């Protein structure tokens, strides 16, 4: 298969430093400012066989690299990569599943508890000296006790969240396109059916056209005035103005969000809402887990060029082999 040092990999935009370091150590790496066809030189068009990226990779950039074989994408969600187009062109796309599952599930649980029990606001109360001046932080209206969780996207992370919620004594139901074999949680074939049945909707569904604004005014109304919505999936799955309205007018009680429609820009109207608990997309953001994700990006490139196979191909490119 030749030496990996003869293989040229392009790294557009910012990427985890450990992934950059390992790519530079193993391959011939070229860094460019962004994944833009205008930045592709004739030499790059001739030489580049792989991409290592944490940024949007569209059809035009794929077309600008005629000898491209593989896109190693950082993150399990790969809605920013045109994987369907890559699959059609015989280009492999890999993501970073499993290594972040438990971390993201921990974050979801923390965000749920913070949303219901207002722990960040209670801490702010102490730090602002209000405990001394005004007395105890007010009792929270919400509790985990007796809640029924509905998971939108019962995949790897959804199941890890469900295991944690079971330990808390919560009832669990879910919605996917297909029922998951061998789980005892109640399956709802529609999202609105799930939202009607539960009072705590936790979304960990992927982005993309199929889930675009799936959580809309109808779903939030179905969730109801005791309803709590938590999103650790993708911001694109939510109609954000409808969510802001639902939080402001009491259609639902509270929301905990780690992901947003236009990151890192978060609407001021959402920031101003006292019943929104907001995190800056930190689901997988520990040194440990981000390093494991970075390793998997580079392990995929090394397996592809060294052994002729990808470790974690995405479904749209599972058919792609090395010729
Ligand atoms: P996964 O194992 O592929 O699970 C995704 C689940 O969503 C599957 O059960 C799938 O079931 C369901 N689903 C997909 N499309 C759907 C649709 N149109 N309607 C209803 N259900 C649908 O993926 P994962 O590893 O759990 O990761 C899930 C997502 O979490 C990622 O794609 C990413 O967007 C997000 N994420 C966020 C963070 C963060 O930092 N906040 C970190 C990691 C991941 P069916 O195929 O049967 O529909
Ligand atoms: C990362 C994520 O923060 O894996 C995902 O899908 O959303 C997060 O783990 C993100 O991919 C890095 O850009």
Domain span at residue 240 reads 101-278
Question: What is the rounded distance in angstroms from the CA atom of residue 141 to the CA atom of residue 155?
Answer: 31
Same-domain status, 249 and 186: yes
- Considering only CA atoms, which of 98, 99, 80 is closest in space to residue 291? 99
**Relative to the alpha carbon of 152, which ligand is closest?**
1
- Looking at residue 255, its pLDDT comes to 99
Kindly state whether residues 238 and 226 are assigned to the same domain.
yes
Q: How confident is the model at residue 119 (pLDDT cuts 50, 70, 90)?
A: very high
Quick check: is 307 in a domain? yes
Same domain, 246 and 160: yes
Beta bridge partners of 173: 150, 186
The answer on 42 and 187 residing in a single domain is no
Residues 89 and 117 in one domain: no
Q: What is the best residue among 52, 258, 263, 281 to mutate for testing ligand 2's pocket, by most ligand atoms within 8 Å of CB?
A: 281
| Positions marked active-site | 234, 263, 281
Q: Does residue 172 contact residue 162 with C-beta atoms inside 8 Å?
A: yes
**Bridge partner list, 278:** 257
Q: Average pLDDT in the 37-48 region?
A: 98
Cβ(100) – ligand 2 distance below 6 Å: yes
Q: Looking at ligand 1, which residue's alpha carbon is closest to its atom 25? A: 156
Q: Which residues contact 316 (CB under 8 A, 6 or more apart)?
A: 83, 84, 86, 87, 93
Mutate to test the pocket of ligand 1, among 99, 176, 283, 318 (most ligand atoms within 8 A of CB): 176
Q: Domain check: are 73 and 20 in the same one?
A: yes
Q: Are residues 92 and 111 in the same domain?
A: no
Q: Evaluate whether residue 46 is within a structural domain.
A: yes
Instruction: Tell me which of 1-15, 122-136, 228-242, 281-295 is least confident.
Output: 1-15
How far is the centre of ligand 1, averaged over its atoms, from the C-alpha of 215 (Å)? 14
Burial of 1-12, coded b for 16+ CB within 10 Å and e otherwise, reads eeebeebbbbbb
Q: Which atom of ligand 1 is nearest to the CA of 206?
A: 32
Whether 125 and 273 share a structural domain: yes
> If pLDDT is split at 50, 70 and 90, which confidence band does 322 have?
confident
**Ligand 2 binding pocket mutation candidate from 12, 15, 72, 77 (most atoms within 8 A of CB):** 77
Cross-strand partners of 300: none
Is position 229 within any domain? yes
Q: Are residues 118 and 211 in the same domain?
A: yes
Ligand 1 atom at shortest distance from the alpha carbon of 210: 18
274 part of a folded domain: yes
Specify whether 207 is located in the same domain as 257.
Answer: yes
Whole-model pTM?
0.98
Collect all residues with Cβ–Cβ distance below 8 Å to 281 and sequence separation of at least 6. Answer: 258, 259, 260, 263, 264
12 three-state secondary structure = strand
User: Alpha-carbon distance 249 to 111, whole Å?
Assistant: 22
Q: Is 105 in the pocket of ligand 1 (CB under 6 A)?
A: no
CA-proximal residue: ligand 2, atom 2 (nearest): 75
122 domain-assigned:
yes
Q: Do 198 and 264 reside in the same domain of the chain?
A: yes
In this prediction, residues 210-235 reach a mean pLDDT of 98
323 in any annotated domain? no
pLDDT band at residue 1 under the 50/70/90 scheme: low
Which two three-digit tokens encode residue 119? 């722990």
Say what the pLDDT of residue 2 is: 73
Residue 192 belongs to domain with CATH number: 3.40.50.720
Domain-located, residue 260? yes
Number of folded domains that form the chain: 2
Does ligand 1 come within 6 angstroms of the Cβ of 207? Answer: yes
Enumerate the β-bridge partners of residue 11.
31
7 lines ligand 1 (CB under 6 A): no
Q: Are residues 90 and 209 in the same domain?
A: no
Q: What angle do CA 174, 282, 206 make, to 5 degrees?
A: 40
Q: Is residue 322 part of a domain?
A: no
């Amino acid at each position: 298969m030749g030496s990996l040092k003869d293989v040229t990999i392009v790294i557009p935009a910012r990427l985890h430093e450990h992934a950059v370091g390992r790519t530079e150590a193993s391959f011939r790496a070229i860094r460019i400012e962004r994944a833009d066809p205008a930045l592709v030189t004739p030499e790059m068009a001739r030489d580049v066989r792989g991409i290592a990226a944490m940024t949007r990779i569209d059809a035009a950039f794929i077309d600008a690299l005629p000898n491209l074989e593989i896109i190693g994408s950082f993150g399990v969600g790969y809605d920013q990569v045109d994987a369907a187009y890559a699959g059609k062109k015989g280009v492999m796309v890999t993501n970073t599943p499993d290594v972040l599952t438990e971390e993201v599930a921990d974050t979801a649980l923390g965000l749920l508890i913070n949303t219901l029990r207002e722990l960040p606001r209670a801490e702010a109360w102490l730090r602002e000296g209000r405990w001394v001046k005004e007395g105890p932080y007010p009792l929270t209206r919400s509790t985990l006790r007796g809640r029924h969780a509905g998971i939108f996207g019962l995949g790897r992370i959804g199941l890890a969240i469900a295991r944690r919620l079971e330990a808390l004594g919560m009832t669990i139901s879910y919605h996917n396109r297909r029922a998951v074999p061998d789980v005892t949680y109640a399956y709802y074939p529609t999202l609105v059916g799930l939202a009607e049945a539960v009072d705590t909707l936790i979304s960990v569904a992927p982005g993309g056209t199929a889930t675009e604004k799936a959580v809309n005014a109808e779903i939030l109304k179905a969730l109801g005035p005791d309803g709590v919505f938590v999103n650790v999936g993708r911001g694109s799955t939510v109609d954000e103005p409808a969510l802001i309205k639902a939080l402001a007018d009491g259609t639902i009680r509270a929301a905990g969000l780690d992901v947003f429609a236009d990151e890192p820009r978060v609407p001021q109207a959402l920031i101003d809402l006292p019943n929104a608990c907001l995190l800056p997309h930190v689901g997988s953001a520990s040194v440990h887990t981000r390093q494991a994700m970075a390793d998997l990006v580079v392990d995929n490139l090394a397996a592809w060029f060294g052994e002729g196979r990808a470790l974690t191909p995405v479904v749209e490119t599972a058919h792609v082999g090395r010729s």
